[in-house]
Structure 1
Amino acid sequence: MSFVRFAARRVAEMAATLLVASFVVFGAMYLAPGSPASFLLAGRSASPEALASINAQYHLNDPFLVRYLRWLGDMLQGDFGRSITYRTDVSRLLADRLPVTLLLVAMSLVVVVVIGLLLGRIAAVRGGATDSTVLVTTTFAVGTPSFVAAVLLQGLFAVQLGWFPSSGAGDGLGDMLWHLTLPAIALALYLIGMLARVTRSAMLEALGSEHVTVARSRGVPERQVIRRHVFHNSLGTILTTGGLIVSTLLVCTILVETAFSIGGIGQLLELSTTTKDFPTVQAISLIIVALFMVVNLIVDLLLPLVDPRITLGTRGAAA
């Protein structure tokens, strides 16, 4: 299958999936108990006229399908609606908060890739006690949820030692990097263990392959064998896991941002869900779904480049 044809098919599939996801997201919020009107009234009694005004402003009395189609049409034009909680355009909220979340995810991804690949490679190549130590360490990492890691790191390095800020995202790039260091580590800890184990398993499998034995018998230096024949042949499996890692980062950032009071879209989603801010929840949910699909598309397009045995549209299978 040609690259252009495959990309076009995947984009069409993404559009169809987003359409279904938009219906599910909108329907879930429509069926959720409570209503935006109850939040706006904050428990106060309201006259029928005031309640009717609120319902008319947010189209709460319109039929489900009418509300969905109006919302979908606005979304296609880049209009995410108006936040019920913050009384401002959702697009403005996203523009203010999305960069913080993307920076946090990027920092966490760098930590995961660098440490995870390093630990996995060391464990596979050295074996013995080093391999056992890495396995024990990664078992601890995989068994520690992001929220628990956030609380532990915050209590030790922010509260007890005072080395890092305990909350907030900071102002300016340098200050933001400093504020997001602990959250990035908390977000990355579980995924470091996952990537290290996947890298170790993939490299151990490659080490036992016939072409590695042949390369060694021909006198190829061990470092070159590891780099060209072992690590390179493991990249397909590692890259596939990388797509899952990015998707997990996007989900887990909600917990970490809440623990560290970071004003990103994760914390915004949690607060908006609590206050029944339907437009904000729907917009963020669709953005997360879209990011998932974009990540998977990128992985599928890169796999044939790192592993010629894989063809477009066959993830993880040799051609």
Structure 2
Amino acid sequence: MRRRATRLGWPAARLLALRALGTLAVLVVLSILIFALLYLAPGDVVKNLLGNRPATPEAVAAIRAQYHLDESPLDQYLRWLGGFVHGDFGQSVRLQVPVSEAISQRLGITALLCGFAFVLAMVVSIPLGVLSAVRAGGWIDRSASALAVVGLSAPTFALGLLLLTVFAYLVPILPVYGVGDGGLDTVLHLTLPAITLALGLGAIVVKLTRTAMLRELETDYVTSARARGLSEATVLRLALRNAAIPITTGAGLLLTFLVGGTVLAETTFALPGLGTLLRDSVLFKDIAVVQSLTLLVACVITAISLLVDLAYLLLDPRVRQSGIPA
């Protein structure tokens, strides 16, 4: 019985397969739009690649041949997409290194920053949301709501500048730029950027947790549990277990917003991550880096969305049996 309860039913498996196919279709459409950046970018593509070098007919012909610009757009797209699937992202014009190398050198910082910010937001916001629901109307609830409004309203760069001002001038206890020398020093350098990102994410999770817990605390099974004399801690555990479904799915989807927020956070705190790489590549019209990095981010976001769907199936037995979200 226990093994049957956790097994995905055929309707749920079919739903997950349809989601996967839909995600694949979305990625194909996004790849076409991202590839079109090569032609939508202002100015001539060859002149952008040549920069300030003399544009002789021979140089133009060599550039067109080197980057396969003399082929049809369809052939160029298929060549680029095939290379992306096999890990060949092309050559960075600005850095003069393979795009895959440029991304891999900066991927660790961005991944560590996103993971740090996400864990920090979850560890603080979920208990605060539960406490806010339990103490609804009290000073804790009002304080949490005020902090959530600030976190939702303030832009990422504004929060970053505020933290820089406080911890660089008023209370200089944390490093304010760079990534440090590794280990604990890197964690300390990433603390302020992680707090900057966690404030916005945590504000939404506080609201989600509070709303979900309030709904569960008003249900009949909670009233029955209290009438049977169960301790308040046990009642809260039962309510939080059922509230975990919207919290988990919401938090997973909010994780995708960290990818966009890292651009501003890394710029504010001078971190050599993917956000800074994307910003510099856009400014210098390094199309190969912009295309590959944008599609890579799209793949990460869609993968997170699929994992959220899978988490919903695992957490809610009704969805596993019917394949229809409750």
Mapping 1:105-144, distance limit 5 Å: 105-127=114-136, 128-144=138-154
Determine if the alignment matches structure 1 residue 98 to structure 2 residue 100.
no
Determine if the alignment matches structure 1 residue 194 to structure 2 residue 238.
no
- The alpha-carbon deviation at position 40 of structure 1 amounts to 4.5
Mapping 1:138-287, distance limit 5 Å: 138-228=148-238, 230-287=239-296
- The alpha-carbon deviation at position 285 of structure 1 amounts to 0.9
What is the root-mean-square deviation of aligned Cα atoms in Å? 2.0
Query: Cα distance 1:129–1:164, how it changes in 2: closer, same or farther (>3 A)?
Result: closer
- The alpha-carbon deviation at position 44 of structure 1 amounts to 5.0
Match in the other structure for 1:27: 36
Are the equivalent residues in 1 in contact too, given 2:37–2:291 (CA < 8 A)?
no
Unaligned runs of 5+ in 1: none
Are the equivalent residues in 1 in contact too, given 2:151–2:200 (CA < 8 A)?
yes
Moved more, 39-48 or 114-123: 39-48
Query: Cα distance 1:174–1:35, how it changes in 2: closer, same or farther (>3 A)?
Result: farther
Match in the other structure for 2:4: none
Moved more, 296-305 or 260-269: 296-305
Are the equivalent residues in 1 in contact too, given 2:131–2:141 (CA < 8 A)?
yes
Match in the other structure for 1:48: 57
Determine if the alignment matches structure 1 residue 88 to structure 2 residue 58.
no
Task: Encode CA deviations 1:236-264: one digit per residue, 9 max, x unaligned.
Answer: 11011112211011111111111111111
The percentage of aligned residue pairs carrying the same residue is 39
> Which amino acid in 1 is paired with 2:287?
F
> Which amino acid in 2 is paired with 1:26?
F
Distance 1:264 1:15 in 2: 27
Q: TM-score, normalised by structure 2?
A: 0.90
Match in the other structure for 2:3: none
- The alpha-carbon deviation at position 148 of structure 1 amounts to 1.0
- The alpha-carbon deviation at position 36 of structure 1 amounts to 5.1
Q: TM-score, normalised by structure 1?
A: 0.92
> Which amino acid in 2 is paired with 1:211?
Y
Task: Encode CA deviations 1:30-86: one digit per residue, 9 max, x unaligned.
Answer: 212124543444445432222332232222343322211111121222211111111
Task: Encode CA deviations 1:159-204: one digit per residue, 9 max, x unaligned.
Answer: 4433222221223232221111110011111111110011001100
Moved more, 91-100 or 62-71: 62-71
Q: Which runs of 4+ in 1 moved over 6 A?
A: none
Moved more, 135-144 or 158-167: 158-167
- The alpha-carbon deviation at position 113 of structure 1 amounts to 0.3
Matching residue within 65, 72, 80 for 2:81 = 72
Match in the other structure for 1:302: 311
Give the total of aligned pairs.
Answer: 316
Are the equivalent residues in 2 in contact too, given 1:232–1:306 (CA < 8 A)?
no
Distance 2:40 2:322 in 1: 37
Query: Cα distance 1:165–1:40, how it changes in 2: closer, same or farther (>3 A)?
Result: farther
Distance 2:259 2:289 in 1: 17
Query: Cα distance 1:171–1:61, how it changes in 2: closer, same or farther (>3 A)?
Result: farther
> Which amino acid in 1 is paired with 2:275?
G
> Which amino acid in 1 is paired with 2:215?
E
Match in the other structure for 1:18: 27
3-state SS in 1 of match to 2:319: coil
